[in-house]
Amino acid sequence: DAGVIQSPRHEVTEMGQEVTLRCKPISGHDYLFWYRQTMMRGLELLIYFNNNVPIDDSGMPEDRFSAKMPNASFSTLKIQPSEPRDSAVYFCASSFGTGGYNQPQHFGDGTRLSIL
Amino acid sequence: AQTVTQSQPEMSVQEAETVTLSCTYDTSESDYYLFWYKQPPSRQMILVIRQEAYKQQNATENRFSVNFQKAAKSFSLKISDSQLGDAAMYFCAYRSGRGAQKLVFGQGTRLTINP
């Protein structure tokens, strides 16, 4: 079975540009998570969705960040405008959690984002 | 809010030896899940082992086992017969058993395997 698929794997762009990160969760999973990993802050949750609906976006740093999940098989995380401090590895993860089935989260390979 | 603490930024072990990574957490909940994830240089996040708080028996997955002490809020990972491929960052994570599905991670422990 295919795992969580993220694209691009690497992204280098200039400050002020719009950045869009993409994620395809594992088929059948009803939860989708976006995490950010930095040396200073470690791994932190940005937002998560249940059945395509955002449940908790309290980790989204500021209005420059937005996330969408238009259907069960696709999500985007957008940064506009980007800033150097947004440089990090961004992970997408998915899990099946409805009906009492507390399955672990499966992570994608991450997108390494560098803002110059 | 729940917090997870890994007090060992770095650990090293000789190949074939046993090593234990420490993790403590703070929560007021009684129903929760604990996880260990491995992140090798390839940066994948790989689930190593998980423990349900309601289970008294410690989880085991081949060479990996945990020592779950609920009263002490401690969740250590033991790696037996260490192999070179075990070299990675190891993250301890907490998830509530009800409501919020998000993982709260510790800061990680970098494990080095010496040949």
Over its length of 115 residues, how does chain B's per-residue pLDDT go in tens digits?
Answer: 789 999 999 999 999 999 999 999 999 998 899 999 999 998 889 999 999 998 889 999 999 999 999 999 999 999 999 999 999 999 999 998 876 678 999 999 999 999 9
> So what's the pLDDT on residue A102?
63
Residues in chain B with CB shorter than 8 Å from the CB of A35 are: 103
Please give the Cα distance from B74 to B20 (Å, whole number).
Answer: 12
Q: What's the pLDDT band for A110 if we cut at 50, 70, 90?
A: very high
Q: Evaluate whether A15 touches A7 at the Cβ level (below 8 Å).
A: no
Rounded to the nearest angstrom, the minimum Cα separation between A84 and chain B is 21
Whether B103 sits inside 8 A of A45 (CB atoms) is: yes
> So what's the pLDDT on residue A27?
94
> So what's the pLDDT on residue B101?
79
For chain B, the straight-line distance linking the first and the last C-alpha, in angstroms and rounded, comes to: 41
> So what's the pLDDT on residue B3?
93
Rounded to the nearest angstrom, the minimum Cα separation between B44 and chain A is 5
CB contact, 8 Å: B5 with chain A? no
Of residues B24 and A101, which shows the higher confidence score?
Answer: B24
